Amino acid sequence: MPSHAAKQYRTLFISDVHLGSKAAKAEFLIDFLRHHEAETIFLVGDIVDGWRLRRSWHWPQLHNDVVQKLLRQARKGTRITYIAGNHDEFLRMFQGTHFGGIVVADRAIHVGADGKRYLIIHGDQFDTVVMNARWLAYLGDRAYELAMFANRAVARARKAMGLPYWSLSSWAKVKVKQAVNFIGAFQDVLTEEARRSEVDGVICGHIHHATMESFGTVDYINTGDWVESCTAVVEHFDGRMEIIHWPHTKSATPPAPEVFVPLVINGHLLNQGKGRTFEAA
């Protein structure tokens, strides 16, 4: 049923929902989709978290509702392209196929209303650690837990020996700095790929960091995520791109207790969770 409340856009770009993980803010995304409709939707990867699903099955009705809402929009004529990410890379086997009107692809070119051409890609393809040593990413979670555990033990030992407290914050600062450097490196490589593809911009996800920047002649746009920040990118009918930060509305019932999904790439923790709790494997 078309909603009167929905704002109309030319295109919506959404990524990193991680359905199948407890951290997915499915309810907020459904609310967002209720308020934002478009002729074309690009799902820019990691919509379904196959890694989490393999480790522990978590598929509540709300996650189904997201899928159903998208399928319904496809039936109503919205063009939907599902770009595979690293967490839903099983889809890469189905490139070019359709399911329920949704086209699966590894990458796509989108032509904006203003004629600008964008490469749409998740972005993990350029992360050699994720591609070649997937176990390192798994290990990343555990390594972080271990580091925190070790820090507490060290703090206790130092206290017992009458030594001043060694703060984790300096260590954390270095980590954050590395994460910022990583974001820069990610932007560089994606921007370079856009240049190679002879397009005017790149729209990607993967690092859960929504931003819109210009690097020389190339626009770098990251859609963010629906695990923590609840962000999406919209294209207006004149081709203007905009990041929408969807507020966690009061009408929505409180989300399930926050489960922090650490995003570890190249050994760097990229996202800083609020409730730092870890899901049992």
Burial of 196 (0-12, 13-18, 19+ CB in 10 A): exposed
Quick note: the x/- pattern for Mn ion over 118-147, rule CB under 5 A, is ------x-----------------------
- Minimal CB distance residue for Mn ion: 206
Q: How far is the CB of 69 from Mn ion (least distance, A)?
A: 22
49-88: which residues touch Mn ion (CB under 5 A)?
85-86
Task: Annotate 205-257 with DSSP letters as a single string.
Answer: -SSS--EEEEETTEEEEE---TTTT-EEEEE-TTS-EEEEE----TTSPPPSP
Number of residues engaging Mn ion in binding (CB under 5 A)? 5
Q: Which of 22, 52, 107, 206 binds Mn ion (CB under 5 A)?
A: 206
Rg, Å, the chain Cα set: 20
Q: How far is the CB of 87 from Mn ion (least distance, A)?
A: 6
Burial of 59 (0-12, 13-18, 19+ CB in 10 A): middle
Burial 174-184 (b: 16+ CB within 10 A, else e): ebeeebeebbe
Q: How far is the CB of 18 from Mn ion (least distance, A)?
A: 9
Strand order in the sheet with 117-121: 107-111, 117-121, 201-204, 218-222, 211-215
Q: How far is the CB of 15 from Mn ion (least distance, A)?
A: 8
The span of 29-37, 61-69, 174-182, 202-210 binding Mn ion (CB under 5 A) equals 202-210
Amino acid making up residue 24: A
Q: How far is the CB of 50 from Mn ion (least distance, A)?
A: 11
Q: How far is the CB of 83 from Mn ion (least distance, A)?
A: 11
As a whole number of Å, the end-to-end CA separation of the chain is 40
Q: Is 89 in the site for Mn ion (CB under 5 A)?
A: no
Closer by beta carbon to Mn ion, 86 or else 187: 86
Quick note: the x/- pattern for Mn ion over 9-48, rule CB under 5 A, is -------------------------------------x--
Kindly list the residues in this chain that would bind Mn ion in the complex (CB under 5 A).
Answer: 46, 85-86, 124, 206
